[in-house]
Amino acid sequence: MADATTQFFQRLESRGHEPLLEKATGSVRVDLTDNGRRARWLIEIEKGDLAVSHRNAKADCVIRTDKATFGRIVAGKENAVAAVLRGAVEIEGNQQLLVMFQRLVPSPVKARS
C-alpha cells in the first residue's frame, strides 16, 4: 500500500484537470527529505490541467519539508499554514501558486468532542 504522499500525487495525476485551478498556470515543486534521502515531485499547472512528475526542474513555487510532515498535511491530519508558521515547511517563490496548490490539500480533520 502506498503512503499518503504517494497516494496524494497519484490522485493529482489521475485527475488530469482540476476545476479549482482553472485560473492558475505555473509549476510547484515539492522537495521532501526522508532519512537523508530527497524526493522531488513537480506539479505543472496549465489553466487547471495537471501534470505530475519526479523531474528535477526549476519551479515557480518550491515547498520544502520532511516526508512525514507532508504526509500528515496531505492526509488532513495537519494544517499546512500552521506548519509553515512553526518552520516545519519552507516556501519559496510565487505565493499565489502556493495558495492555489493549497486548494488541492484536504483541510485538517477536527477532533470531535
What does the domain layout of the chain look like in residue ranges?
A: 4-102
The helix-helix angle for 67-74 and 4-15 (nearest 10°) equals 60
Cell of 78: 495537519
Burial of 49 (0-12, 13-18, 19+ CB in 10 A): middle
pTM: 0.87
* Beta bridge mates, 22: none
Alpha carbon distance 58, 60 (integer Å) = 7
- Residues with Cβ < 8 Å from 25, sequence gap 6 or more? 45, 46, 47
Domain 4-102 sits in CATH at 3.30.1050.10
What are the pLDDT tens digits along the chain (113 aa)?
578 899 999 999 998 899 989 989 999 999 999 999 999 999 999 999 999 999 989 999 999 999 999 999 998 898 888 898 999 999 999 988 888 888 888 877 665 44
